[in-house]
Amino acid sequence: MGVFGIAVAPKSEINAAAETYSALFALQHRGQESCGIATSHKGIINFHKDMGLVPDVFTAKHLEALQGNLALGHVNYLTADGNQRVNAQPLVLSHINGNLAVAHNGALVNGLKLRNEMERRGGIFYTTSDAEIIAHLVVRERVWADSIEDAVKRTMQYLSGAYSVIMLSRNKLIAFRDPNGFRPLCMGKIDDSIVFASESCALDAIGAEFVRDIEPGEIVTVENGAVNSMKSGINARKSACVFEYIYFARPDSVIDGVSVDESRKEAGRCLARHNTVDADVVIGVPDSGLSAALGFAEESGIPYGVGFIKNRYIGRTFIQPSQGQRQRSVKIKLNAIAAAVRGKRVIMVDDSIVRGTTCARIVSLLREAGATEVHMRVSSPPFLHPCFFGTDVPDREVLIAHNHNLEEIREIIGADSLDYLHFEDLPQVVKGMNLDFCHACFTGDYSVEVPNKVEKQGLEEGVSTCEQ
Amino acid sequence: MGVFGIAVAPKSEINAAAETYSALFALQHRGQESCGIATSHKGIINFHKDMGLVPDVFTAKHLEALQGNLALGHVNYLTADGNQRVNAQPLVLSHINGNLAVAHNGALVNGLKLRNEMERRGGIFYTTSDAEIIAHLVVRERVWADSIEDAVKRTMQYLSGAYSVIMLSRNKLIAFRDPNGFRPLCMGKIDDSIVFASESCALDAIGAEFVRDIEPGEIVTVENGAVNSMKSGINARKSACVFEYIYFARPDSVIDGVSVDESRKEAGRCLARHNTVDADVVIGVPDSGLSAALGFAEESGIPYGVGFIKNRYIGRTFIQPSQGQRQRSVKIKLNAIAAAVRGKRVIMVDDSIVRGTTCARIVSLLREAGATEVHMRVSSPPFLHPCFFGTDVPDREVLIAHNHNLEEIREIIGADSLDYLHFEDLPQVVKGMNLDFCHACFTGDYSVEVPNKVEKQGLEEGVSTCEQ
Amino acid sequence: MGVFGIAVAPKSEINAAAETYSALFALQHRGQESCGIATSHKGIINFHKDMGLVPDVFTAKHLEALQGNLALGHVNYLTADGNQRVNAQPLVLSHINGNLAVAHNGALVNGLKLRNEMERRGGIFYTTSDAEIIAHLVVRERVWADSIEDAVKRTMQYLSGAYSVIMLSRNKLIAFRDPNGFRPLCMGKIDDSIVFASESCALDAIGAEFVRDIEPGEIVTVENGAVNSMKSGINARKSACVFEYIYFARPDSVIDGVSVDESRKEAGRCLARHNTVDADVVIGVPDSGLSAALGFAEESGIPYGVGFIKNRYIGRTFIQPSQGQRQRSVKIKLNAIAAAVRGKRVIMVDDSIVRGTTCARIVSLLREAGATEVHMRVSSPPFLHPCFFGTDVPDREVLIAHNHNLEEIREIIGADSLDYLHFEDLPQVVKGMNLDFCHACFTGDYSVEVPNKVEKQGLEEGVSTCEQ
Amino acid sequence: MGVFGIAVAPKSEINAAAETYSALFALQHRGQESCGIATSHKGIINFHKDMGLVPDVFTAKHLEALQGNLALGHVNYLTADGNQRVNAQPLVLSHINGNLAVAHNGALVNGLKLRNEMERRGGIFYTTSDAEIIAHLVVRERVWADSIEDAVKRTMQYLSGAYSVIMLSRNKLIAFRDPNGFRPLCMGKIDDSIVFASESCALDAIGAEFVRDIEPGEIVTVENGAVNSMKSGINARKSACVFEYIYFARPDSVIDGVSVDESRKEAGRCLARHNTVDADVVIGVPDSGLSAALGFAEESGIPYGVGFIKNRYIGRTFIQPSQGQRQRSVKIKLNAIAAAVRGKRVIMVDDSIVRGTTCARIVSLLREAGATEVHMRVSSPPFLHPCFFGTDVPDREVLIAHNHNLEEIREIIGADSLDYLHFEDLPQVVKGMNLDFCHACFTGDYSVEVPNKVEKQGLEEGVSTCEQ
């Protein structure tokens, strides 16, 4: 998921909704399932949200209707709870002190527990999103709190897990980040207007300059052009998600002080340092494996090559071929460039292996294109434990690395050799990061208490919309 | 607004969603703004709702996805709060005991007060509908109540105003009607399956037989094919809305024992009894003036004629002509049939006059078509007071009868003579009705305490969606 | 099918496309399958057409894009050739002298023959419409003709059958009608702008005044505000379609000098004069049976009643109920008003009986609603022969009157008595018509040579688009 | 534009429409404006086409409706004639011998002349496409020819310019390529089914194997699984378009014996051989500049880098930011990766410079991201002359290289140095190509007679559809 917010300076002519639209487009890689924009105008919050990609959901007419100097946007991915229109964000609601829009990136560890507590007191939920749980708490605390930011601070005492949240009230834009700092959140500036975004690439997209990252546990409020910061005061182990660098984020983003592109290249370099195999070319699996492949080539001296072409029009609903067709070919989305690999010993770099099936197909693509050897290098350590913080990784049972040793995996994917990023190299990969990072998916060492398994809200007794 | 619910008998093969679709189509005249259907299937409530007419909102694919033996449907009209997608019903939510879908027809008098009370305790509202207020109360009471119907009974103690509600839970379909009986609600049967509907025409549409009206203050529950009834025990003046007969309902419906068609004809007959004008033809303004015109012709002996043709394709979004075009012609929706009125003295019957502007245009249509005299007869008494019970009539200030006397109105609309239904004739018009009726819009005698003026939720501080 | 054209006067501010839109909406009853508008602007013909109803096909954006002072519109019905997007009109094409848009109402008798002749010389056809055949001929003749209207005159020598056509070229609007005058076509005026339309109700809709009917065999051209008329010089029996009065046209239209409403009432009066049955009420089947029922009541002295209510939202795609549902009820589109017919002997008037199935259902509706007797009266003579001129009536084999005698039909439809309009009364029904009329469907006396059976273009070897 | 056709072997279970859908998706880079598929089934040609991208235009329902063993597909780009729905291909038409579907890639040099000749004899044109001109000729010749392929052969005598065409008749799939071989066209095989495609990447996408290129002047027919080839017998200079390698085609395609990827890399190597500048990194402008950059890096020894990230969701309608926004930022589609270029001397490789404006912006992006020097290298010679063969390059007047010398261009785009591919290196770039190539855009040496300037059909006197 990705969030973006903007508080246009009082006399600026910047169009809040239009900038949010461009920024969400830059964050589209963080969620393709649904998206939405809310704006605050004279105390009324207008919004539009729907299933689909940013350019498909919004028309010029929508943007025109979304007036106001404060805007909030969200892109959502498909969660295990299914294709739920009701879960599109921002959530927009009214409460005793006015209206509120809420957009959330992350995953609460104690969401179900909090929800059940509120339900036991007569609470109503329309969605299965953590955003609604956070909204309920903030509104409940708002009754006694001096301000919305005070209510946020009180709410943070209850929450456990990952949450980078932006909220919109009548006059304020409020951004806050969980005390562990699981998910990224940064602040930028465009003229005198303030923006918040999940990644700095969204700042670039609208021509804003990067100011700083929101700190773990920090609450930043913008009102009438003035920026205020307060701290939640909660002590927590800093635990920035390392998978943002490996897979999630765009390479042109800089998160918590580290360039995503540079960290990927460094991962490639680390892999190269452990390499013992002789090869003719190093290629990356697009898109997230490219930087690591380049780093590997740099460090090893083996030439870098472009071995795959990805259809640049994917990302929209493609009618799946029948089973027969699928078996004949997997080349619709990704094709090998025979000229680049034929007769060569190839080192192929990808960011991770989850189930192993996709990986096996890609190895096979290279062999069909004439590669004589395929050596697989993975720019992250083996994935052994589930993530409770919003990466939507499947349960332990299906993780190939949980069930097989290195040699078995190599055989399953059909590679000539296989190596993962060594866990000890991780600090080097994110060198310069001004936080500690979360490595629970590799080590099982969670920085907050977690349940035995990932619980999905509403799966058994759910509210669901029809597929369309 | 219109509501419909069906509880298919355990072994029946009736398709709950498909029947609801047909029934909503029969209730389409009660609301063209948005519509929705929810079904309960294995504890999951599926739903689809959107802005638009029933045939436009639902595809065959939607109906297939809406599995389950319990279904609930709603059609909504455009309220003064604006074109709000969020207000589409049924509302579907989850609470401590499962899921709930709610569809409401009517208007609460104390809705804002109840909402504010709940907001003061941290309540969140996503819509400006009374359905959400009712849902909140039912869920809150459900915490302490033995059953959902018990929670409904407790909730009814708080509510004041008009509400004919149908709700869907995991295993139950619950229908209830306010103690005053403002809005209609009836029960029918199709084989062993039970249905509830705002009007009996929805029963006809699916081939169900009429069983009886739900009584004011009654709560009827269907579970596993068994029907149970309980009373709210609240004492209240019976006050069925007389405007259902005059304007809202379809003529083929029978409400609280009285045929809508017959009551309209009787209104025409009453007008004829007071008539002193000689004329050549009696014509009605389609659609709701036709029956009254027929009654007038019957009683007066003046021949009945069809003087207007209404474009049968209206009801969908029509691009408004420019001001210039509009002044040249208003005949796009309604045209006079010159052959029927040329050279004739015409008695023209319509159901009501609100602002007077439409009426003046229609009188003018007849004159252009060659009518030598136009005598306007209105099949309801003058509209003098606002309605708080869901007819969405405008404020006193714009009601022509509130600001002008009979002679002034006649002159404004350009008629040769004008008469309204005499208030004393109203009992005759709904003779045989097994309830007393509400006549507050004519007399100001409200059967429940009302505020000084109609309050709109969220107009000042509202949550609103973009126009699309 | 319906056609409309407008030539806005040089200095007028009338918007040609917007007026065409309103006019097509008034002609919507003549075709609901597809529609289109073409405008001529600085030598370029812009157009938009699609499957669907006028308000669904056109957005404000389309109308804005359709600039120019000359406009042409068309509504198309579903032909036996299937749901063909390619057949949407106007056809817009370019030829040696510029561009041309063509819209046609009617059916050629020798269309296939002409098409085959042109194909034998290398002609290409994209549609199965007669409009394309006419276009090909006009363009071919244009090579040798002095003007487009001269080319039209030459083309008319080849054509046999029904064609009321409007064409648009760079600077001219041309309207012409076949020498038999099968299909209606009239001319109107709005300020100094000239309009042509299939029916006068389209003139009313835009506030234009009726000027005159286009005569059979006449070609009228408008260029720079000047109107010119020429004759084809073809001798032919005048044969205006009587079914326009009985069924097709809107009652507020006046065609070839006769009010549609008045002709229908007269048909009812004629039926009444032959009536020997005593009854309590006369009701019409909406919409086209209403006027005839009123005439019957007038003449017979039996009271007129409104016995049916038609769902006013039909006309859009409605998901068909399953077979089971259909058997339980046919009341979704049409319901009987029990209060109007219960315990009564009913005379029910409809415009025609084709196969008899719909009629049987409607009789049954009345009996279920409590009518004690149902006497069916049909405001046209029995339909015995196929129509080759654009009424799209089915082949002889399925016509109930072709296969059964009066008594058998009465029994099939379940009526207590049955009578048709007597053929001898037809002249009385269209009294004052300034043409002779075509009665081939009743008598088999065709005024032009016809093939043995109706031939459908392209059914065997057709070009077809996908359903959407 | 791109074309694809498939003739499924008699007993195969391959779904022709579904394979065409996947293949068109692989050819999407050749045209994003409109697309279509036609299939032949029992003598009827069904088709669906519309404006938009392949995944947006086709639903599963469309593909199901497109039955038949022969299928033909087309993707179209936006031509200078404007956004014309009517120009979507395949064209589907009927003629004396049945139906025909036509899809064309290329541009005729004598199209207007041929069209005018046919118009002078009464010909009608609905589109401004060359496909329609070719269709008219083939149908006209078909009258006298023994077969459709014979008609094609006769037609080719008239045509001058670029045409790679696939046609579909009742039982045959016919592919032919102009005698110059301007545009690519290849043949493949999947089991016993035969496919034709503009590029080999479409074969890969459906798992088909490459058989051979269609030769210039060759006509290949598939009927009942049998493949026949004939020659047009026209002598012509072989002139394959070199811009297919430089820009149009996908790098994984192999055209006329040369790998697109390899030719691009070779272009980069050639540039490197002329290079005199010292630099720290070589980066390519995505997508078509990447391979050349890699070749440059390889040859020069300067490290290759990934300097840009392209938003992977572009390719759909994006609402353009206001002028103000645009000036602030051009980074929505393309962003520089600061980590890769900061403090570095950069060699930036792109495929061509047309007007120079985009190029100037990209140079500026690099400088803002911290590049200390930007040296521009272009992997094609300067574009000096217009193309008449389907590359849709603008007129001479706007070509920057036509109006400025090297130093002026360097200054306009703001680069520190600038070099183009030397014309003498072109043979090396496409070494191994089994045809001669067309280099008219660089030299003005056209292999067929061309007009003085590119003529656009219908621009002055055109038929056009509304924008939607």
Q: CATH number for the domain including C71?
A: 3.60.20.10
Residue C465 lies in a domain: no
The type of residue at C269 is: R
Give D213's pLDDT tier (boundaries 50, 70, 90): very high
Largest Cα separation within chain D, whole Å, is 72
> pTM of the full predicted structure?
0.92
Same domain? A111 vs A198:
yes
| Report for C3-7, D124-128, D392-396, D433-437: range of highest mean pLDDT | C3-7
Would you say residue B458 has pLDDT above 50?
no
Interface with chain D: mutation pick from A312, A333, A468, highest number of D CBs within 10 Å:
A312
Please compute the mean of the pLDDT values over residues D300-315 and round it to a whole number.
Answer: 89
pLDDT band (50, 70, 90) for residue B81: low
Contact C122 D142 (CB under 8 A): yes
Per-residue pLDDT, D391? 83
Share of chain C above pLDDT 70, in %: 92
Of C178, C207, C236, the last residue of a domain is: C236
Give yes or no for residue D312 having a pLDDT over 90: no
Asked if residue A146 belongs to a domain, the reply is: yes
Chain D residues whose C-beta is within 8 A of a chain C C-beta are 43-48, 61-62, 65-66, 86, 91-96, 98-99, 116, 119-126, 135-136, 139-143, 458, 460-468
Model confidence at B461, in pLDDT bands (50, 70, 90)? very low
Residue A372 belongs to a domain: yes
Among D15-19, D51-55, D451-455, the minimum mean pLDDT is found in: D451-455
Q: Three-class SS of residue C91?
A: strand
Q: What is the SS3 assignment for D389?
A: coil
The Cα–Cα gap between A73 and A162 comes to 19
- The single-letter DSSP state of residue A208 is P
Q: Per residue of chain A (468 residues), give pLDDT as tens.
A: 999 999 999 999 999 999 999 999 999 999 999 999 999 998 889 999 999 999 999 999 899 999 999 999 999 987 655 557 889 999 999 998 899 999 999 999 999 999 999 999 999 999 999 999 999 999 999 988 999 999 999 999 999 999 999 999 999 999 999 999 999 999 999 999 999 999 999 999 999 999 999 999 999 999 999 999 999 999 999 999 999 999 999 999 999 999 999 999 999 999 999 999 999 999 999 988 999 999 999 999 999 999 999 988 876 556 766 656 655 556 788 999 999 999 999 999 999 998 898 899 999 999 999 999 999 999 999 999 989 998 866 777 788 998 899 999 999 999 999 999 999 999 999 998 888 999 999 999 999 999 876 555 443 344 454 433
Beta strands in B21-97 (DSSP E): 34-41, 44-51, 70-76, 91-95
Contacts of B41 in chain A (CB under 8 A): none
Chain D interface mutation, best of A309, A323, A328, A334, highest count of D Cβ atoms under 10 Å: A309
3-class DSSP string for C398-427: HCHHHHCCHHHHHHHHCCCEEEECCHHHHH
Which tokens hold the place of D249? 């085609």
**C260 and C165 co-located in one domain:** no
Residues of C in contact with D460 (CB under 8 A): 43
With a CB cutoff of 8 Å and minimum separation 6, the contacts of D44 are: C461, C462, C463, C464, D99
Cβ contact, residue pair A294, D315, below 8 Å? no
How large is the average pLDDT for residues B363-386? 95
Interchain pair B201, C309: CB under 8 A: yes
pLDDT at B321: 60
Chains that touch C (3 or more CB pairs under 8 A): B, D
Residues of D in contact with C139 (CB under 8 A): 122-124
Q: Examine the domain organization and report whether D52 and D149 are in the same domain.
A: yes
Q: Tell me: cis bond preceding A90? Omega within 30 of 0 counts.
A: yes
Interface predicted TM-score (ipTM): 0.90
Residues C302 and C212 both lie in one domain: no
Predicted local distance difference test score (pLDDT) of residue D456:
52
Instruction: Give the pLDDT score at D454.
Output: 58
Percent of chain B's residues with pLDDT above 90: 78
Kindly report, residue by residue over B189-221, the tens digit of the pLDDT. 999 999 999 999 999 999 999 999 999 999 999
- Of D210, D236, D262, the residue that ends a domain is D236
Note whether residue A93 is domain-resident: yes
Residue numbers of the domain that contains A37: 2-236
Q: What per-residue confidence (pLDDT) applies to D85?
A: 83
Residue A242 lies in a domain: no
Three-class SS state of B47: strand
Sequence letter at residue B75: V
Chains that touch D (3 or more CB pairs under 8 A): A, C
Share of chain D above pLDDT 90, in %: 78
Residues A214 and A263 in one domain: no
Q: Measuring CA to CA, which residue among D298, D216, D284, D292 is closest to residue D260?
A: D292
CATH of the domain at B262: 3.40.50.2020
Directed axis angle between helix B130-142 and helix B148-156, to 10°? 120
Q: Are residues B187 and B281 in the same domain?
A: no
How much is the pLDDT for D318? 65
Nearest to D313 by CA among D334, D284, D336: D334
Smallest CA–CA separation between D317 and chain C, in Å? Answer: 17
Q: Which residues contact A369 (CB under 8 A, 6 or more apart)?
A: A307, A336, A337, A338, A341, A342
Mean pLDDT score of chain C: 91
Whether omega for the bond prior to residue A287 falls within 30 degrees of 0, making it cis, is yes
Contact C319 B55 (CB under 8 A): yes
The stretches of D58-143 forming alpha helices (DSSP H) are 60-65, 111-120, 130-142
Q: What is the pLDDT of residue C323?
A: 58
**pLDDT for B466:** 43
Lowest-pLDDT range of A214-223, A338-347, B348-357, B454-463: B454-463
**Same domain for C188 and C218?**
yes
Residue (of A379, A382, A380) closest to A349 by Cα position:
A379
B387-436: pLDDT as tens digits: 999 886 667 778 899 889 999 999 999 999 999 999 999 999 999 888 89
Is the CB of residue C399 less than 8 Å from the CB of residue C312? no
**In this complex, how many residue pairs, one in chain B and one in chain C, have their CB atoms less than 8 Å apart?**
178
Mean pLDDT to the nearest integer, D365-387 = 95
Verify cis geometry, omega within 30 degrees of 0, for the bond prior to C451.
Answer: no
Query: Does residue B84 surpass a pLDDT of 80?
Result: no
Domain-embedded: residue B301: yes
Of D34, D130, D18, D33, which Cα lies nearest the Cα of D71? D18
D330 or A189: which leads in pLDDT: A189
Min mean pLDDT across B314-328, C73-87, C418-432 is at B314-328
Inter-chain residue contact A465 with B124, CB threshold 8 Å: no
C337 and C263 together in one domain: yes
Extended strands (E) in C69-109 = 70-76, 91-95, 98-108
pLDDT of residue B97: 85
Measured between CA atoms, the residue of chain D closest to residue A317 is D55
User: How far apart, in Å, are the Cα atoms of B382 and each of B249, B276, B379, B437?
Assistant: 19, 19, 9, 16
| Residue A195 within any structural domain of the chain | yes
Q: Report pLDDT digits (tens) over B139-151.
A: 999 988 999 999 9
Average pLDDT taken over every residue of chain B: 91
pLDDT, tens only, A196-226: 999 999 999 999 999 999 999 999 999 999 9
Contact, B83 vs B151, CB < 8 A?
Answer: no
Question: CA dist D179 to A168, A339, A437, D215, D387, Å?
Answer: 65, 28, 64, 8, 17
Choose from C41, C96, C127, C468 for mutation: most chain D CBs within 10 A.
C96
C281 DSSP assignment: E
Reported residue count of chain C is 468
| B163 lies in the same domain as B221 | yes
Judged by CB atoms closer than 8 Å, whether chains meet at B262 and C319 is answered as no
Residues A213 and A98 in one domain: yes
Subunit contact D119:C93, Cβ cutoff 8 A: no
Q: Do C462 and D44 touch (CB under 8 A)?
A: yes
* Tokens, residue B216: 């004011």
Do D180 and D222 share a domain, yes or no?
A: yes
The more confident residue out of D107 and B97 is D107
Q: Quick check: helix, strand or coil at residue B319? A: coil
CB B211 within 8 A of CB B188: yes
Other beta carbons within 10 angstroms of residue B276's beta carbon come to 6
Assess whether B145 and B214 both reside in one domain.
yes
In a domain, C36, yes or no: yes
Tell me the C-alpha distance between A106 and A165, whole Å.
Answer: 8
Peptide bond into B445 cis (omega under 30): no
Closest C-alpha to B199, from B265, B105, B266 = B105
Domain count, chain B: 2
Task: For an interface test with B, give the residue of A50, A96, A133 to mutate (most B CBs within 10 A).
Answer: A96
Quick one: pLDDT band at residue B14, thresholds 50, 70, 90? very high
